[in-house]
C-alpha cells in the first residue's frame, strides 16, 4: 500500500525498522543513563523518532507540531530545569533498592507481554483502503471549529491557567529593597535579595 507521501512498501518497512530502533534505544537511554543531561538530549531524539512515525502514518501536520512543541518547547524546558536544579549528589541507598528495580522490570515486561498478546490476537476492523485526503490540516481545522469547538476553547483556557500556575509556583519571593537617596550604589545592589528560605527537613 503506497503511503500518502509516495513511499513504497519496502522503503516504509525500512523506515519503520530504523525509526523503531532509534525510538527504543533512545527511550532506554532516557530511563537508564546516569547522566541526566544525556537523558534529556536522548529524550529529544525520542520525540524526533516519534515524529518520523507520524509521517509514516500520513500525519504531516501533527509531525510538525510534535517537533515544534515537544523538541522545541518541552525538551528545552526540561533542559532549563536540569540546569536550575543541577546538584551533583549521591543518592543514599534505600532498602531493597535492587530488588525494587528487578520487580518493576518484571512487572513492566509482563505488561508488555500482555499488551502484545492483546494486540496480536485482536481482530481489528481495519478499513480496506486508506483515504487520500487533500490536506490533513484542513480536516483537522474543520474538526476544531465544528464538533471539537468546546474542547478546543477549554484547551486554551487550560493553557492560560497552567501558564499562570507555573509562574506562581516558580516565583521567588523577593525582599523589597530600601531606597536610599544620595548614596552610591554598592556592589550588593546588583544582587536580587531573596527571602531566607525556611528549610523543611524530612520528618522521619
Partner 1 sequence: MSLEPFLIIAAALFCIGIYGLITSRNAVRVLMSVELMLNAVNINLMAFSNYLDSASIRGQVFTIFVISIAAAEAAVGLAIVLSIYRSRDTVDMEQFNLLRW
From the list 99, 126, 190, 192, which residue makes contact with partner 1 (rule: CB under 8 A)? 126
CA angle 56, 60, 62 (to 5 degrees): 105
In angstroms, give the least distance from the CB of 70 to partner 1. 7
From the list 22, 41, 53, 64, which residue makes contact with partner 1 (rule: CB under 8 A)? 53
Angle subtended by helix axes 36-56 and 75-84, to nearest 10: 170
From the list 5, 28, 149, 193, which residue makes contact with partner 1 (rule: CB under 8 A)? 28
Judged by CB under 8 A, the chain residues 89 through 108 that form the site for partner 1 are: 89, 91, 94, 100-101, 104-105, 107-108
Judged by CB under 8 A, the chain residues 157 through 186 that form the site for partner 1 are: 158-159, 161-163, 165-167, 169-170, 172
Is 71 near partner 1 (CB under 8 A)? no
Nearest to 66 by CA among 79, 53, 78, 82: 53
Q: What gap in Å lies between CA 46 and CA 32, rounded to an integer? A: 14
In angstroms, give the least distance from the CB of 31 to partner 1. 4
Sign of CA dihedral 62, 41, 92, 194: negative
Closer CB to partner 1, 122 or 186, in the complex: 122
From the list 14, 82, 174, 193, which residue makes contact with partner 1 (rule: CB under 8 A)? 82
Is 124 near partner 1 (CB under 8 A)? yes
From the list 38, 151, 175, 193, which residue makes contact with partner 1 (rule: CB under 8 A)? 151
Contact window for partner 1 (CB under 8 A) among 113-121, 174-182, 185-193? 113-121
Nearest to 43 by CA among 25, 66, 26: 26
From the list 5, 14, 18, 24, which residue makes contact with partner 1 (rule: CB under 8 A)? 24
Is 200 near partner 1 (CB under 8 A)? yes
Residues 6+ apart with CB under 8 A from 129: 1
Please give the grid coordinates belonging to residue 7: 513511499
DSSP 81: H
Contact window for partner 1 (CB under 8 A) among 148-156, 175-183, 185-193? 148-156
Q: What gap in Å lies between CA 179 and CA 175, rounded to an integer? A: 12
Q: What gap in Å lies between CA 144 and CA 147, rounded to an integer? A: 7
Amino acid at each position: 500500500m503506497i503511503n500518502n507521501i509516495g513511499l513504497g512498501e519496502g522503503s516504509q518497512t525500512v523506515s519503520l525498522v530504523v525509526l523503531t530502533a532509534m525510538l527504543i534505544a533512545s527511550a532506554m537511554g532516557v530511563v537508564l543513563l546516569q547522566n541526566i543531561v544525556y537523558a534529556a538530549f536522548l529524550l529529544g531524539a525520542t520525540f524526533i523518532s516519534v515524529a518520523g512515525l507520524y509521517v509514516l502514518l500520513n500525519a504531516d501536520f501533527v509531525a510538525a507540531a510534535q517537533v515544534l512543541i515537544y523538541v522545541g518547547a518541552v525538551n528545552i524546558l526540561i533542559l532549563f530545569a536540569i540546569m536550575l536544579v543541577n546538584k551533583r549528589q549521591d543518592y543514599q541507598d534505600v532498602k531493597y533498592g535492587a530488588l525494587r528495580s528487578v520487580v518493576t522490570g518484571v512487572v513492566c515486561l509482563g505488561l508488555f507481554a500482555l499488551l502484545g498478546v492483546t494486540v496480536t490476537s485482536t481482530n481489528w476492523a481495519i478499513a480496506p483502503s486508506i483515504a487520500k485526503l487533500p490536506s490533513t490540516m484542513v480536516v483537522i481545522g474543520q474538526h476544531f471549529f465544528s464538533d471539537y469547538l468546546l474542547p478546543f476553547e477549554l484547551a486554551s483556557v487550560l493553557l492560560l491557567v497552567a501558564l499562570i500556575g507555573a509562574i506562581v509556583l516558580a516565583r521567588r519571593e523577593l525582599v523589597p529593597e530600601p531606597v536610599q537617596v544620595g548614596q552610591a550604589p554598592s556592589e550588593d545592589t546588583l544582587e536580587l535579595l531573596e527571602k531566607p528560605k525556611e528549610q523543611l527537613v524530612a520528618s522521619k
